[in-house]
Amino acid sequence: MYEYDYKIAVIGGGTGLSSILRGLKKYPIDITAIVTVADDGGSSGSLRDELDIPPPGDIRNVLVALSEAEPLVQELFQYRFKEGNGLAGHPTGNLLLAAMTNITGDFATAVRNLSQVLNVRGKILPVCNQALRLCAEYEDGCVAMGESNIPNCHKKIKRVYYQEPCPALEEAVKAVKEADLVILAPGSLYTSIIPNLLFQEMKIALQETKAHLVYCCNIMSQPGETTKFTVSEHVKSIEDHLGFKCIDKVLVNDGAVKEEIIKKYAAENAAIIEIDDEQLEQMNICVIKSRMVDYNKDNEVRHNPKKVAAMIFSLLLDV
Q: How confident is the model at residue 3 (pLDDT cuts 50, 70, 90)?
A: low
Quick: pLDDT tens for 276-317: 999 999 999 999 999 999 999 899 999 999 999 999 999 998
The whole-number pLDDT of residue 111 equals 97
Region 6-14: mean pLDDT is 95
pTM: 0.95
> Rounded distance, CA 295 to CA 36, Å?
24
Residue 240 has pLDDT above 90, yes or no: yes
The whole-number pLDDT of residue 84 equals 74
The whole-number pLDDT of residue 46 equals 86
> Rounded distance, CA 108 to CA 74, Å?
20
Q: How far is CA 45 from the centre of its chain?
A: 17
Rg of the chain over CA atoms, in angstroms? 19
> Rounded distance, CA 37 to CA 58, Å?
8
Q: DSSP characters for the chain?
A: ----S-EEEEEE-HHHHHHHHHHHTTSS-EEEEEE-----SHHHHHHHHHH-----HHHHHHHHHHB-S-HHHHHHHH-B--SSTTTTT-BHHHHHHHHHHHHHS-HHHHHHHHHHHTTBSSEEEESSSS---EEEEETTS-EEESGGGGGGG-S-EEEEEESS--PPPHHHHHHHHH-SEEEE-SS-IIIIIGGGG-SHHHHHHHHH--SEEEEE--SB--TTTSTT-BHHHHHHHHHHHHTS----EEEEE-SPPPHHHHHHHHTTT--BPB--HHHHHHTT-EEEEE--EEE-TT--EEE-HHHHHHHHHHHHHT-
Query: Average pLDDT, whole number, for the chain?
Result: 93
Region 76-96: mean pLDDT is 86
Region 253-273: mean pLDDT is 95
Region 215-228: mean pLDDT is 96
The count of other CB atoms within 10 Å of the CB of residue 286 is: 14
Residue 263 has pLDDT above 70, yes or no: yes
Q: Which of these, 171, 153, 203, lies nearest to 33 by C-alpha position?
A: 171
Region 53-73: mean pLDDT is 91
The whole-number pLDDT of residue 2 equals 55
The whole-number pLDDT of residue 41 equals 78
205 touches 169 (CB < 8 A): no
Q: How confident is the model at residue 14 (pLDDT cuts 50, 70, 90)?
A: confident
Quick: pLDDT tens for 141-178: 999 999 999 999 889 999 999 998 899 999 999 999 99
The whole-number pLDDT of residue 1 equals 47
Residue 91 has pLDDT above 50, yes or no: yes
Q: How confident is the model at residue 99 (pLDDT cuts 50, 70, 90)?
A: very high
Quick: pLDDT tens for 186-210: 999 999 999 999 999 999 999 999 9
Residue 254 has pLDDT above 50, yes or no: yes
